[in-house]
Amino acid sequence: DTEVTQTPKHLVMGMTNKKSLKCEQHMGHRAMYWYKQKAKKPPELMFVYSYEKLSINESVPSRFSPECPNSSLLNLHLHALQPEDSALYLCASSHDLSGRLTDTQYFGPGTRLTVL
């Protein structure tokens, strides 16, 4: 099973709302990622978690708050977003970050977020 699932598929929220995106994988992967993809642009890395610890934050604004409650789950908490944050949010996972084994990243289908 090489599936990464993301919920919800679509989300519409106002600028004062608080919402969360969820990502799940059951491949035993210990590295998980959040990417953001604006329309007609390539994906851009936001966060990397390694063994449930935040490893990389690519200077993402604090209105995006990631959380990795266990090795299978990755959340992205959203608060006070702006309309320009509307995008496809992609989650990915890989075996780990060591590179000793395959480091293929498996992506979920994404959550299409619209901020009004």
Partner 1 sequence: DAKTTQPTSMDCAEGRAANLPCNHSTISGNEYVYWYRQIHSQGPQYIIHGLKNNETNEMASLIITEDRKSSTLILPHATLRDTAVYYCIVRRRGPNAGGTSYGKLTFGQGTILTVHP
Quickly tell me which residue has 């293929």 as its tokens: 104
Q: Write each residue from 6 to 45 as x if it is in contact with partner 1 (CB under 8 A), else as -, in one continuous string.
A: -------------------------x----------xxxx
Is the CB of residue 88 less than 8 Å from the CB of residue 6?
A: no
Question: Cβ of 58: how many Cβ atoms within 10 Å?
Answer: 12
Q: Which is nearer to partner 1, 66 or 108 (CB)?
A: 108
99 is a site residue for partner 1 (CB under 8 A): yes
Q: Which amino acid is at 106?
A: Y
What is the maximum span of the chain, computed from C-alpha positions, in angstroms? 44
Q: Which is nearer to partner 1, 39 or 84 (CB)?
A: 39
Q: Which amino acid is at 102?
A: T
Site for partner 1, rule CB under 8 A: 4, 31, 42-45, 48, 50, 55-56, 90, 92, 94, 97-100, 103-110
